[in-house]
Structure 1
Amino acid sequence: MLNRPCCRVTCSRPAVATLTYDYGDRMAVIGPLSVVADPHAYDLCQLHAERLKVPDGWTIIRPVPLGHDV
């Protein structure tokens, strides 16, 4: 099911990206919305995916620019 809402509280926009963390490597990965909801990942709307900030020393990986079809 691809009609999932953004996971941010009070946000009602549809999710377009899935965020996962690799704590060991201090990395956040934002990719296209996953086909299946994963309880260990976070679905984000375009606004929240673009505004995501990570702690100092962490890296954000964006394999595909948001708003583009894969």
Structure 2
Amino acid sequence: MLDRLCSKAACQREAVATLTFDYADSMAVVGPLAPSRSSHGFDLCADHADRLSVPQGWQVVRHQVMGNV
């Protein structure tokens, strides 16, 4: 059984990213899956995280984990 599923309706894929919003700055932030669920975040599968769209005038910030260099 998967630990956490995508928050999108009817999506049954495993969550790999967490989406949060900064309404004051009109910003959506997508980062690695948070260690635990939060009432302020949305867990997304890879497809939904990649296809994220935001309202006009908003900015998307993507944080990615870099491997060992």
TM-score, with structure 1 as normaliser? 0.88
Greater gyration radius: 2
Aligned-CA RMSD value: 2.0
Distance 1:6 1:69, change over 3 A: farther
1:6-50 deviations in Å (ceiling 9; x for gaps):
000100000000000000000000000000100110000000000
Distance 2:3 2:67 in 1: 16
Identity of aligned residues (%): 49
- The answer to whether structure 1 residue 56 and structure 2 residue 69 are counterparts is no
Number of matched pairs: 67
Unaligned runs of 5+ in 1: none
* Structure 1 residue ranges (4+ consecutive) displaced by more than 2 angstroms after TM superposition: none
**TM-fit CA distance, 1:69:** 5.9
TM-score, with structure 2 as normaliser? 0.89
